[in-house]
Structure 1
Amino acid sequence: MKSCLPPDPNPVRPAHALPALACDAHCHVFGLAERFPYAEDRSYTPPDAPFESLVALHDHLGVKRGVIVQASCHGTDNTAMLDAIARGNGRYRGVAIVDAAVTDDTLKVLNDAGVRGVRFNFVAHLGGAPDLDVFDRVLRRIEALGWHVVLHLDAQDIVKYADLIGRIRVPFVIDHMGRVRAEAGLDQEPFRQLLELMRNPLAWVKVCGSERVSAGKRPFDDAIPFARALVHAAPDRVLWGTDWPHPNISKDMPNDGELVDLLFRICEDPALIRKILVENPERLYDFAPSK
């Protein structure tokens, strides 16, 4: 079982101030393991990255809101995420992982706790595609709640599952720019498919995970053209996140302060920055309206 490296313990202070109520729309909490055990069938073991550490990072960066995404190492036990949302007193929303056994009562409890979506992993090193019958059944059930689905895909899966994605009836969010490979260029088929997908009014994308897209090392500037193209394609349906604490990074561990500044190199328009960091997540995740 793979063990993950810890995040950079010394995030720089970003050179750019974030707008009021800026949202980190993709972050995680892991453990503490003695209180929130990891799933026995997990494919990796992260270092503990508890709520207190996430809050300290967000305070340092100037992030006022966040979306805590359930990761596969905790499986369908969403307890650590729910605990963090509750302790955040409205600062955080969540995206859960559920299976075929989830009940309507459980979905209501999750909704009342601040969960606004479910996540499905298709990524090969995390176990590959889910049971597609379960996928379809869960999506039918969350539709009445007004939730969305987060799709964690490898780049080639954008092409492979085009028909599946095309029949989704709820808003769906593509994680990490579809994990496309920067070295394959802007004209690679998965990225062209992703850009075409963004014409669908239900499609959202996260311009995060630049370290996963990049072929190089910090500051991951070779991911910028991909992020810019996605922002241009659907500015009203783009989100940004740190992906802290960056599980399964095999290249350079990102510095979270540098990731904030990378966003400002991706997009220099203050109005568009506000849309990505405040207005779009506020709409999708049902945060209290900003003034």
Structure 2
Amino acid sequence: MTQPMDPDWLVFHPAPKKPDFQLPPGAVDAHCHVFGPSPEFPFAPERKYTPCNAGKDHLFALRDHLGFARNVIVQATCHGRDNRAMMDACRAAGDLARGVASVGTEVTDAELVEMHEAGVRGVRFNFVKRLVDATPKQVFMGIAERIVKLGWHIVVYFEAADLEELVPFLESLPTTIVVDHMGRPDVTKGTSHPDFQRFLQIMQDNSNIWSKVTCPERLSAEGPPYADVVPFAAEVVRHFPDRVLWGTDWPHPNMKSHMPDDGALVDWIPLIAPTPELQHKLLVENPMRLYWT
């Protein structure tokens, strides 16, 4: 039986525009998700939300419509540590998708190898308290020490106010770290605020820390066209052009204010990466180096 979505859930845009910005050949949507579809891939009993179904067929159709060549599919919190939907999507895409899993201490080495063979190249550590229950940092460290043997990296999701407390832990991780959505800065405070400067500083101090310059629709206080987020993302791209990634975040979990047009999100890219060289690094070189080599 299909699991009914939350009554206030916003469903992904039914007909996104064709982007005006032409993506470079080989561009990677380096942050997206699949939800179900249930009942084939049920949502986790411990989930904090129940989304719409948004399976691999919809994702691949969007990839082709927008002009991307590849996807990096990040495990969604609604599926908990059951990575089957994400792995199924990666297998279906062949070499055109990679995955980021969510695992616990119970995962076996054989399961990690199976994930690797399906296309998984990283694990996600989520520190956003409204989305997941807190996990002790020593648990994360134990997982990190196991996945580094496979050459995987770690994606971390936190909010700006939590970064100061997380710095020692992040600096102790033994592999590449990718921060989701620039650590979710409060854009109303401006780029000079200590919270955002702390984020730039930790990237400056640690050459293994990357950032996704993603989710203006989630960070914006103004709404479309998200001009208030441009200075933040442009600053990260300008300072760290070899350590940035971009993705749609489709199908945009837990959006409350509005559902973005994914074509309009693609048109936002040249505002933060204004030259062809920066665009190629952001969309092709960097994700290919991290996920496909």
The question of a shared fold, defined as TM-score above 0.5 by the shorter chain, is answered with yes
Structure 1 contact 124–154 (Cα < 8 Å) conserved: no
TM-superposed deviation, 1:128: 4.8
TM-superposed deviation, 1:266: 1.3
Unaligned runs of 5+ in 1: none
Structure 2 contact 77–132 (Cα < 8 Å) conserved: no
Structure 2 contact 24–283 (Cα < 8 Å) conserved: yes
Kindly indicate whether residue 290 of structure 2 is the aligned counterpart of residue 284 of structure 1. yes
- Between the aligned partners of 2:30 and 2:210, the Cα distance in structure 1 is 12
For 1:207, the equivalent position in structure 2 comes to 213
- Between the aligned partners of 1:253 and 1:218, the Cα distance in structure 2 is 10
Kindly indicate whether residue 166 of structure 2 is the aligned counterpart of residue 134 of structure 1. no
Q: What TM-score comes out, normalization by structure 1 length? A: 0.96
Kindly indicate whether residue 259 of structure 2 is the aligned counterpart of residue 271 of structure 1. no
- Between the aligned partners of 1:122 and 1:235, the Cα distance in structure 2 is 26
TM-superposed deviation, 1:129: 3.5
- Between the aligned partners of 1:180 and 1:35, the Cα distance in structure 2 is 36
Aligned with 1:121 (options 122, 126, 147): 126
Q: What TM-score comes out, normalization by structure 2 length? A: 0.95
Structure 1 stretch displaced more, 109-118 or 186-195 = 186-195
- Identical aligned residues as a percent: 47
- Between the aligned partners of 1:239 and 1:98, the Cα distance in structure 2 is 23
For 1:257, the equivalent position in structure 2 comes to 263
User: Secondary structure of the residue that 1:101 maps to in structure 2?
Assistant: coil
User: Secondary structure of the residue that 2:30 maps to in structure 1?
Assistant: strand
CA RMSD of the aligned region, Å? 1.2
For 2:194, the equivalent position in structure 1 comes to 189
TM-superposed deviation, 1:211: 1.3
Pairing 1:1-291 to 2, within 5 Å after superposition: 2=6, 4-199=9-204, 200-286=206-292
Between the two proteins, the alignment pairs up a number of residues equal to 287
User: Secondary structure of the residue that 2:181 maps to in structure 1?
Assistant: helix
- Between the aligned partners of 2:133 and 2:281, the Cα distance in structure 1 is 33
TM-superposed deviation, 1:216: 1.3
Give 4+ residue runs of structure 1 displaced > 6 Å after superposition. Answer: none
Structure 1 contact 174–206 (Cα < 8 Å) conserved: yes
- Between the aligned partners of 1:172 and 1:166, the Cα distance in structure 2 is 9
- Matched letter for residue 86 of structure 1: R
